[in-house]
């Protein structure tokens, strides 16, 4: 039986703009820590080796320190680790894998799958990669790698690849899509025994064989990921293939949409946010719809300000936000203004009733007026 | 609105006081300060504004100090159609009471009364404005910065608020301004906080763009690097193909070149064959020419022989020549004889002339020599003779002196006659004469005379005294004479005369010698003359012997003339002989020429024959030599063979050339060059691509180390946040600005609503004071900006103090009239003219009087005399 660890999409060096500098530093650290967690997992489960199916790095152009820290973390592995260049870190002329920062600090058990030649991990076990050599390959790299493969002749052979599988990708025009049928044929012909895929950050079992899988990213990177934060422990034993998804992620990307039509909705939102766990490692993306009075909107602003202090990040998804601030009589009932001030108020309210920036500014001005008047009262 | 009466009870220090005001015109209320003329105004404010239950400080302040009673104010007021009495008491048993007298009687108390009054006034009076005016009624009219303008503007601000909460409203404006100024300067420009945020965005955008550009360059370099690698592989393949093609083409070209060389060899062979053929052709032609030449030579020989035989005999010419030779020799002999004779005759003539010369020269030389001898003697004489004519005269003179002295001395001296018996010695002075015995002598004793006869006697005679002087004179003269003789080398005068004669003779001898030398030597010296003479003499002496040697010497001519004659005759004979010789020579020459001409013709003919014979022999010999080497037949056979060989070789060469041309060797060469050029071009291109790959690798090395993508992401995140901050700040700033601007705009609009009517009233009131062409300009702040009279406009600040006070008062009155329609509200002036001088007071009095015609004016003062000038004023005392 051969057991190994399958992971991918570490995206080391990734920056998220909705994180503050402080949160970004923790986010980056979490991803470095993930490497050590994976190393520990591999040891605990008796894995013979580990494969990283592409996008080890967020980019080819990374700060030296980022590369150095990543390599330092990989030292935690006690078994060979095979890194595959993916679409983010392709093996092009500027490849990070060929940079001085990498080659000078690469530990001996760390291998880059820089061609499609099978490599023997140990007698009877081979790893073969389908590395990306540019950001836009013009062919199915898996199919091409399989074509040149002879039968494994009794050895267990794991292919490591990166990219979208045709049955999952909606983009039919992408020439680099991995044809599942061809891969399954190679499996059936026992030229390969497992296809370890990367690129999709959600853990996914592709097709019916159970031997074509996306491990998903070990730490989430975005809101739209379905099931990130896992690594796969794969055991191949004769005709059997057992795969266990192990949770390793510590961060959450949480996307929420709310309908806000009165003050009670805002309070509901406040309660919901308060109930979320691991808030300092949670990144929120919020979108709102509805219409709020000045007072309710002021409350919402206050709430968000507090959330920004507590959560790792709060991103307002403006594209999906359609929140109208509608000044109401009640907003001004308490205001003790008369004469020209009253006339000015009426004027602003008229403008605020319209659309566009002018109306928005008028609403802001009204909110300010309410705030100033309230402070005086 | 009119104030008819105010009554104060237990109000501050006032126990009870009631003031009644004139309903129209000016009421001057006089009272000491401590009682407080201003109490009237204050009391009115409290009455209208404060509930009886009020515990406010200003209410507490009016509580009477020493009385346990509530302060009370009562007023009788007319407003529009209403006339009412209104009373309030505070502190103790507070109470409010309103009695409306007209138009309909009403009674109200408490809060209701308060409200009712406000309602009544509200109907007829602009309470806010009035209140505003009242608030500041104590201020000075002529200081518009404090009073007229600022206070009125503030009053009108408050009035424009149209609300009880005016102060609150104003505080909102202030807060809005504070908010506005948090983001903007008072001028409306963004503050540093805003611009910093915007600048931060800009600077991040720039940095982001730079990094993005660098990354784009890097991506581009990666793409180009990939393309370069592909291109390099392709070019290497192409280079291999090109090289193979070039090798093949080069081989083909070499083959062609080899063939071309073969063609050249064939052509050379043909050339050689043709050359041999031509040689044999030339040989055959030469042989033909030789045969023809032999014939020609033979013909020429025959002709030469004929010509030689035809040459004439030359014997007669030779004979004539011999005769001429003999004649010439004879002529020459005759000339020689004549020459010899001529020579002898010449010698003879010469001899005879030499003889003559010898004689003459001898004579000349003798004369010269004689003259020279005489001259030598003369020179000797001249050297010896020292005396001349002058010396002779001196000598004669000296001699005469001596004679004279002697005569005188002798005559004066004794004369001694000695007759010697025997030998004695007579000594006179130094002279010692021996006088032989028997002789006698007589002597004048001029000196001591001793006659010594040794052994006998010595007689000494000494001259006497006078004789001594004469003797001295004589001795001196004699000494002088002798000295002169000695000097001239003369013995005596006779001798001197002889010597002079000798000298003259010597000088003549010298002159003679010079003449002789001049005549006889002429240009010769004595030596040359002597030499010449010797030579002539030698020739003369030698000639006889010489002539004797001449054969056949005849008689020597007798003299020089005969010799000359003989010489001339001999010359003529010799000349004749010379002419004869010349004739003979010419004749001999002519004969020789004839002989030579004939000899030459014969020799030429002979030579022609010989040459012709040699040529003929040579021709025969050459032809025979050729034929010996190769017979004519053999030559013909060889010629035929070589002709055929040349034809064949040329045909073979032409065929090969045609074959070569048909295979287009130029095209083959061009193809080879083209293939080589293609290889070079591909190599160049490959080198270029390799260079580019190297350049790109360097660039990638440089750019790839910078972590550009990560930096870009970080920058993008920062930029995102910075934009967010900037937008939020800008949004807040915009809101603050909009709020502020809107508030201020409305406030200003409210103010402006007052401007037009206020100005109109000011104009109407002012026209009374300043004339019909008076006008003013009011600012938005409701201050007077300028005053115009006719065309002359003066800014308010530039007006005189009096004019400013007058305008200030006019403005006040106008504002008061604005407050209500029925002639305005009471204008309360609190000692308003405190700063005016007497003259100005008078003018203001007029304005006040004028104002009083239209509205109720109440002046509160402690100096009522100031208002003496106000016509028709009603004076009331508060304390009396």
Option in A16, A21, A339 nearest B160 (CB) = A339
- The predicted pLDDT at position B832 comes to 57
Residues of A in contact with B163 (CB under 8 A): 337-339, 341-342
- The predicted pLDDT at position B161 comes to 46
Please, which pLDDT band fits residue B843 given cuts at 50, 70 and 90? low
Q: Which of B130-134, B387-391, B844-848 has the lowest mean pLDDT?
A: B130-134
Segment B495-526, tens digit of pLDDT: 888 888 888 888 888 888 888 888 888 788 88
Distance from CA of B258 to the nearest CA of A (A): 52
Are the beta carbons of B747 and A340 separated by less than 8 Å? yes
Phi-psi group of B842: left, alpha or beta (phi > 0 → left; psi -120 to 50 → alpha; rest → beta): alpha
Residue B562 CB partners (closer than 8 Å, separation 6+): B352
Task: Please check the confidence at residue B31 and state whether its pLDDT lies above 60.
Answer: yes
* Distance between start and end Cα atoms, chain A: 78
Are the beta carbons of A13 and B747 separated by less than 8 Å? no
Rounded Cα gap, residues A119 and A127, in angstroms = 5
Are the beta carbons of A336 and B168 separated by less than 8 Å? yes
- The predicted pLDDT at position B416 comes to 81
Closest to B129 (Cα-Cα) out of B742, B763, B782: B782
Task: Please check the confidence at residue B254 and state whether its pLDDT lies above 70.
Answer: yes
Give me the half-sphere count of Cα atoms (radius 13 Å) on the Cβ side of residue B493: 12
Distance from CA of B225 to the nearest CA of A (A): 7
Task: Please check the confidence at residue B819 and state whether its pLDDT lies above 70.
Answer: no
Are the beta carbons of A340 and B160 separated by less than 8 Å? yes
- The predicted pLDDT at position B147 comes to 31
Rounded Cα gap, residues A49 and A46, in angstroms = 9
Are the beta carbons of B706 and A61 separated by less than 8 Å? yes
Q: Which residue has the higher pLDDT, B382 or A47?
A: A47
Taking CA atoms, what residue in A is nearest to B750?
A340
ipTM for the whole complex: 0.87
Distance from CA of B779 to the nearest CA of A (A): 19
- The predicted pLDDT at position B608 comes to 83
Question: Is residue B750 within 8 Å of residue A340, measured between CB atoms?
Answer: yes
Taking CA atoms, what residue in A is nearest to B226?
A93
Cross-strand pairs, A162: A198
Q: From the centroid of its chain, how far is CA A66?
A: 18
Q: Please report where in the chains the tokens 């206020």 appear, as a residue.
A: B758
Question: Is residue A51 within 8 Å of residue A127, measured between CB atoms?
Answer: yes
Of all residues in chain B, the percent with pLDDT exceeding 90 is 16
- The predicted pLDDT at position A55 comes to 94
Q: Which residue has the higher pLDDT, B793 or B872?
A: B793
Q: Which of A117-131, B340-354, B414-428, B701-715 has the lowest mean pLDDT?
A: B414-428
Are the beta carbons of B704 and A376 separated by less than 8 Å? no
Distance from CA of B746 to the nearest CA of A (A): 5
Q: Please state the rounded mean pLDDT for residues B609-619.
A: 85
Give me the half-sphere count of Cα atoms (radius 13 Å) on the Cβ side of residue A104: 9
Task: Please check the confidence at residue B152 and state whether its pLDDT lies above 80.
Answer: no
Q: Which of A139-143, B45-49, B113-117, B161-165 has the lowest mean pLDDT?
A: B161-165
Q: Please state the rounded mean pLDDT for residues B762-774.
A: 80
| Pairing status of strand A110-112 against strand A81-83 | parallel
Taking CA atoms, what residue in A is nearest to B699?
A94
Please, which pLDDT band fits residue B840 given cuts at 50, 70 and 90? low
Cross-strand pairs, A157: A126
Q: From the centroid of its chain, how far is CA B703?
A: 52
Taking CA atoms, what residue in A is nearest to B170?
A341
Q: Residues 665 to 724 of B: which have CB under 8 A from any A CB?
A: 696-697, 700, 703-714, 716-721
Are the beta carbons of B717 and A19 separated by less than 8 Å? yes
Distance from CA of B683 to the nearest CA of A (A): 24
Residues of A in contact with B707 (CB under 8 A): 61-64, 66
Question: Is residue B45 within 8 Å of residue B105, measured between CB atoms?
Answer: no
Q: Please state the rounded mean pLDDT for residues B590-615.
A: 83
Segment B564-596, tens digit of pLDDT: 888 888 899 889 989 988 998 998 898 888 888
Are the beta carbons of B709 and A59 separated by less than 8 Å? yes
Q: Which of B75-89, B615-629, B639-653 has the lowest mean pLDDT?
A: B615-629
B103 preceded by a cis bond (ω within 30 of 0): yes
Q: Which residue in A344, A359, A377 has the most chain B C-beta atoms within 10 A of its own C-beta, making it the best mutation to test that interface?
A: A344
Q: Which residue has the higher pLDDT, B319 or A254?
A: A254
Segment A282-316, tens digit of pLDDT: 999 999 999 888 888 889 999 999 999 999 999 88
Mean pLDDT, chain B, whole residue set: 82
Please, which pLDDT band fits residue B168 given cuts at 50, 70 and 90? low
Cross-strand pairs, B777: B786
Mean pLDDT, chain A, whole residue set: 91
Long-range contacts of A324-329 (CB under 8 A, 24+ apart): A324/A290, A324/A291, A324/A292, A325/A291, A325/A292, A325/A293, A325/A294, A325/A297, A325/A352, A325/A360, A325/A363, A325/A367, A326/A291, A326/A292, A326/A293, A327/A293, A327/A294, A327/A352, A327/A363, A327/A366, A328/A293, A328/A294
Taking CA atoms, what residue in B is nearest to A343?
B746
Of all residues in chain A, the percent with pLDDT exceeding 70 is 98
Please, which pLDDT band fits residue B163 given cuts at 50, 70 and 90? very low
Closest to A255 (Cα-Cα) out of A324, A316, A319, A299: A316
Rounded Cα gap, residues B722 and B646, in angstroms = 105
Task: Please check the confidence at residue B185 and state whether its pLDDT lies above 80.
Answer: yes
Q: Please state the rounded mean pLDDT for residues A174-188.
A: 91
Residues of B in contact with A92 (CB under 8 A): 222, 225-226
- The predicted pLDDT at position B310 comes to 65
Residues of B in contact with A13 (CB under 8 A): 709-710, 713
Q: Please state the rounded mean pLDDT for residues B760-777.
A: 81
Task: Please check the confidence at residue B666 and state whether its pLDDT lies above 60.
Answer: yes
- The predicted pLDDT at position B132 comes to 56
Q: Please state the rounded mean pLDDT for residues B766-777.
A: 82
- Whether the full predicted model's pTM is greater than 0.80, yes or no, is no
Residues of A in contact with B749 (CB under 8 A): 340, 343
Give me the half-sphere count of Cα atoms (radius 13 Å) on the Cβ side of residue B377: 13
Are the beta carbons of A18 and B720 separated by less than 8 Å? yes
Q: Please state the rounded mean pLDDT for residues A71-77.
A: 96
Rounded Cα gap, residues B391 and A241, in angstroms = 191
Q: Please state the rounded mean pLDDT for residues B534-539.
A: 87
Distance from CA of A133 to the nearest CA of B (A): 9
Taking CA atoms, what residue in B is nearest to A337?
B169
* Distance between start and end Cα atoms, chain B: 27
- The predicted pLDDT at position A377 comes to 45
Q: Which of B27-36, B294-303, B765-774 has the lowest mean pLDDT?
A: B27-36
Q: Please state the rounded mean pLDDT for residues A30-46.
A: 95
Option in A58, A338, A365 nearest B738 (CB) = A365
Task: Please check the confidence at residue B54 and state whether its pLDDT lies above 50.
Answer: yes
Option in A92, A93, A348 nearest B742 (CB) = A348
Q: How far from A304 is each of A209, A270, B727, B807, CA to CA, in Å? A: 47, 9, 17, 60
Q: Which residue in A56, A308, A365 has the most chain B C-beta atoms within 10 A of its own C-beta, making it the best mutation to test that interface?
A: A365
Q: Which of B460-469, B538-547, B693-702 has the lowest mean pLDDT?
A: B460-469
Are the beta carbons of B707 and A60 separated by less than 8 Å? no
Q: Residues 717 to 736 of B: which have CB under 8 A from any A CB?
A: 717-721, 731-732, 734-736
Q: Please state the rounded mean pLDDT for residues A53-79.
A: 94
Rounded Cα gap, residues A116 and B386, in angstroms = 165
Q: Please state the rounded mean pLDDT for residues B71-96.
A: 90
Give me the half-sphere count of Cα atoms (radius 13 Å) on the Cβ side of residue B719: 17
Task: Please check the confidence at residue B145 and state whether its pLDDT lies above 60.
Answer: no
Q: Which residue has the higher pLDDT, B353 or B853?
A: B353
| Pairing status of strand B106-109 against strand B95-102 | antiparallel
Residues of B in contact with A94 (CB under 8 A): 218, 221-222, 225, 700, 703-704
- The predicted pLDDT at position A280 comes to 92
- The predicted pLDDT at position B682 comes to 92
């Amino acid at each position: 039986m051969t057991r190994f660890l399958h992971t991918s999409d570490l995206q080391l060096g990734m920056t998220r703009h909705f994180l503050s500098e402080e949160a970004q530093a923790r986010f980056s650290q979490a991803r470095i820590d993930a490497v050590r967690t994976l190393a520990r997992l591999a040891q605990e489960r008796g894995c013979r080796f580990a494969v990283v199916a592409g996008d080890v790095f967020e980019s080819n152009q990374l700060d030296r320190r980022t590369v150095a820290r990543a390599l330092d973390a990989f030292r935690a592995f006690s078994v060979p680790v095979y890194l595959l260049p993916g679409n983010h870190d392709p093996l092009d002329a500027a490849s990070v894998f060929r940079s001085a920062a990498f080659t000078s600090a690469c530990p001996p058990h760390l291998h880059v799958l820089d061609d499609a030649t099978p490599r023997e991990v140990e007698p009877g076990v081979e790893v073969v990669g389908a590395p990306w050599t540019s950001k836009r390959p013009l062919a199915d790299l898996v199919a091409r790698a399989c074509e040149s493969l002879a039968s494994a002749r009794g050895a267990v052979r794991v292919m490591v690849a990166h990219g979208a599988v045709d049955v999952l990708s909606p983009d039919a025009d992408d020439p680099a899509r991995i044809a599942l049928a061809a891969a399954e044929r190679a499996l059936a012909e026992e030229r390969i025994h497992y296809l370890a895929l990367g690129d999709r950050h959600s853990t996914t079992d592709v097709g019916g064989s159970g031997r074509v899988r996306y491990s998903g990213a070990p730490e989430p990177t975005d809101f739209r990921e379905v099931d990130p934060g896992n690594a796969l422990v794969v055991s191949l034993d004769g005709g059997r293939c057992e795969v266990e998804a192990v949770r390793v992620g510590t961060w959450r990307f949480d996307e929420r949409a709310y309908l806000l039509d009165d003050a009670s909705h805002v309070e509901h939102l406040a309660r919901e946010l308060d109930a979320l766990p691991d808030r300092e490692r949670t990144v929120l993306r919020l979108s709102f719809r509805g219409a709020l009075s000045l007072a309710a909107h002021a409350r919402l602003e206050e709430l968000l300000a507090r959330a920004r202090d507590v959560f790792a990040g709060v991103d307002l998804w403006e594209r999906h936000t359609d929140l109208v601030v509608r000044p109401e009589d009640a907003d001004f009932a308490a205001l003790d203004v008369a004469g020209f001030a009253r006339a000015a108020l009426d004027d602003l309210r008229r403008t605020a009733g319209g659309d566009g920036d002018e109306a928005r500014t008028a609403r802001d001005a009204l909110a300010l007026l309410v705030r100033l008047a309230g402070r005086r009262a | 609105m009119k104030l008819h009466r105010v009554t104060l009870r237990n109000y501050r220090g006032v126990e009870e006081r009631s003031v009644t005001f004139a309903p129209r015109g000016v009421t001057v209320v006089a009272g000491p300060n401590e009682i407080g003329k201003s109490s009237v105004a204050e009391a009115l404010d409290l009455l209208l504004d404060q509930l009886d239950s009020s515990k406010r400080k200003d209410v507490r302040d009016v509580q009477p100090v020493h009385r346990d009673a509530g302060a009370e104010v009562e007023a009788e007021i007319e407003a529009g159609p209403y006339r009412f009495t209104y009373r309030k008491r505070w502190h103790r048993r507070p109470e409010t009471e309103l009695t409306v007298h007209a138009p309909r009687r009403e009674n109200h108390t408490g809060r209701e009364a308060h409200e009712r009054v406000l309602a009544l006034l509200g109907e007829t009076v602009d309470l806010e404005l009035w209140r505003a005016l009242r608030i500041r009624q104590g201020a000075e009219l002529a200081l518009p910065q404090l009073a007229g303008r600022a206070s009125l503007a503030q009053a009108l601000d408050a009035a424009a608020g149209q609300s009880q909460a005016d102060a609150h409203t104003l505080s909102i404006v202030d807060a809005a301004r504070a908010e506005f100024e948090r983001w903007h300067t008072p001028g409306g420009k963004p503050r540093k906080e805003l611009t910093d945020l915007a600048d931060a965005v800009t600077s991040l955008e720039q940095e982001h763009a730079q990094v993005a550009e660098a990354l784009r360059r890097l991506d581009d370099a990666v793409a180009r690097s990939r393309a370069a690698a592909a291109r390099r592989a392709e070019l290497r393949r192409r280079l291999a193909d090109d090289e193979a093609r070039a090798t093949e083409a080069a081989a083909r070209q070499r083959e062609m070149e080899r063939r071309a060389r073969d063609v050249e060899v064939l052509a050379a062979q043909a050339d050689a064959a043709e050359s041999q053929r031509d040689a044999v052709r030339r040989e055959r032609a030469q042989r033909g020419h030789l045969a023809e030449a032999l014939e020609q030579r033979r013909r020429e020989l025959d002709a030469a022989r004929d010509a030689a035989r035809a040459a004439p005999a030359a014997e007669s010419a030779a004979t004539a020549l011999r005769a001429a030779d003999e004649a010439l020799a004879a002529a020459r002999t005759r000339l020689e004889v004549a020459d010899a004779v001529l020579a002898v005759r010449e010698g003879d003539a010469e001899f005879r002339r030499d003889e003559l010369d010898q004689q003459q020269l001898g004579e000349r030389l003798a004369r010269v020599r004689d003259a020279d001898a005489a001259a030598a003697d003369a020179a000797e004489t001249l050297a010896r003779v020292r005396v001349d004519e002058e010396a002779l005269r001196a000598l004669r003179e000296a001699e005469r002196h001596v004679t004279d002295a002697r005569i005188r001395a002798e005559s004066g001296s004794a004369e001694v006659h000695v007759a010697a018996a025997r030998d004695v010695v007579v000594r006179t002075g130094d002279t010692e004469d021996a006088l032989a015995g028997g002789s006698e002598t007589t002597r004048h004793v001029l000196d001591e005379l001793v006659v010594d006869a040794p052994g006998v006697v010595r007689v000494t005679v000494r001259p006497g005294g006078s004789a001594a002087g004469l003797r001295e004179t004589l001795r001196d003269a004699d000494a002088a004479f002798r000295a002169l003789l000695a000097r001239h080398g003369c013995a005596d005068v006779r001798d001197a005369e002889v010597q002079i004669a000798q000298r003259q003779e010597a000088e003549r001898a010298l002159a003679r010698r010079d003449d002789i030398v001049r005549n006889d030597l002429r240009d010769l010296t004595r030596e040359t003359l002597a030499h010449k003479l010797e030579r002539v003499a030698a020739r003369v002496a030698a000639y006889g012997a010489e002539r004797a040697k001449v054969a056949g010497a005849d008689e020597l001519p007798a003299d020089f003339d005969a010799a000359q004659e003989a010489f001339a005759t001999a010359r003529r004979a010799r000349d004749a002989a010379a002419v004869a010789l010349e004739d003979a020579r010419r004749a001999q020459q002519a004969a020789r020429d004839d002989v030579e001409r004939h000899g030459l013709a014969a020799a030429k003919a002979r030579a022609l024959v010989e040459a012709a014979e040699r040529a003929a022999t040579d021709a025969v010999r050459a032809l025979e030599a050729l034929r010996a080497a190769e017979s004519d037949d053999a030559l013909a056979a060889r010629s035929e063979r070589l002709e055929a060989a040349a034809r064949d070789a040329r045909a073979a060469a032409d065929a090969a050339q045609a074959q070569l041309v048909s295979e287009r060797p130029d095209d083959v060469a061009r193809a080879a060059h083209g293939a080589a050029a293609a290889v070079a071009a591909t190599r160049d291109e490959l080198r270029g691509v390799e260079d580019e790959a190297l350049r790109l690798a360097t660039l990638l090395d440089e750019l790839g180390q910078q972590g550009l993508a990560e930096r870009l992401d970080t920058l993008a995140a920062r930029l995102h946040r910075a934009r967010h901050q900037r937008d939020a700040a800008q949004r807040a700033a915009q809101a603050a600005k909009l709020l502020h601007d809107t508030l201020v705009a409305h406030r200003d609009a409210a103010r402006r609503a007052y401007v037009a009517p206020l100005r109109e009233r000011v104009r109407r009131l002012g026209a009374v004071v300043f004339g019909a062409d008076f006008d003013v300009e009011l600012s938005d702040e409701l201050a007077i900006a300028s005053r115009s009279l006719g065309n002359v406009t003066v800014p308010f600040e530039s007006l005189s103090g009096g004019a400013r006070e007058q305008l200030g008062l006019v403005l006040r009155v106008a504002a008061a009239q604005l407050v209500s329609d029925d002639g305005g509200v009471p204008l309360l002036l609190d000692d308003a003219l405190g700063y005016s001088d007497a003259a100005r007071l008078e003018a203001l009095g007029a304005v006040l009087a004028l104002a009083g015609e239209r509205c109720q004016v109440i002046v509160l003062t402690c100096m009522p005399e100031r208002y003496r000038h106000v016509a028709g004023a009603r004076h009331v005392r508060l304390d009396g």
